[in-house]
Amino acid sequence: QVQLEESGGDSVQAGGSLRLSCAQSGYTDAPWSMAWFRRAPGTGREGVAFIDADGSTVYADSVKGRFTISKVGVKNKNILYLQMNSLKPEDTGMYYCAADPHGVVAPFSTDEYNYWGQGTQVTVSS
């Protein structure tokens, strides 16, 4: 059974940086699509960054130039990263890792992903 576990969330001041990680267990040999979503208080989940099996990436306009998504394969499991620089208070939220063993049509649609982590909290203060 595939499981995703995020880590790296913290409280930082505006302008700071964080790196989030998502470890995927129960890996199967498949063309995994993976993404980071976030949810600010009182809002729904919004897509932040996406990476497909070939390494192609897509970013939300709000994070372009500040966030970088990447992944590595280690011992038959994927580890997904999100490097976040120049953080702003509006980046505050719970960050979730999502994955699906198929290609996706709409990278920032939550319906595309069968597997989700529990989330890691990022708080950016001004």
pLDDT for residue 109 = 97
- Residue 121 CA to residue 11 CA, distance in Å, equals 8
- CB-CB contact of 51 with 69 (8 Å): yes
Q: What digits encode the pLDDT tens for the residues 39-83?
A: 998 899 999 999 999 999 999 999 999 999 999 987 777 899 999
pLDDT for residue 26 = 83
Q: And the tokens for 125?
A: 């203060």
pLDDT level of residue 85 (50, 70, 90 thresholds): very high
Residues 6+ apart with CB under 8 A from 72: 78, 79, 81
Q: What digits encode the pLDDT tens for the residues 93-112?
A: 999 999 999 889 999 999 99
Which residue in 96, 101, 92 sits closest to 118, CA to CA? 96
Q: What digits encode the pLDDT tens for the residues 3-26?
A: 999 999 999 999 999 999 999 988
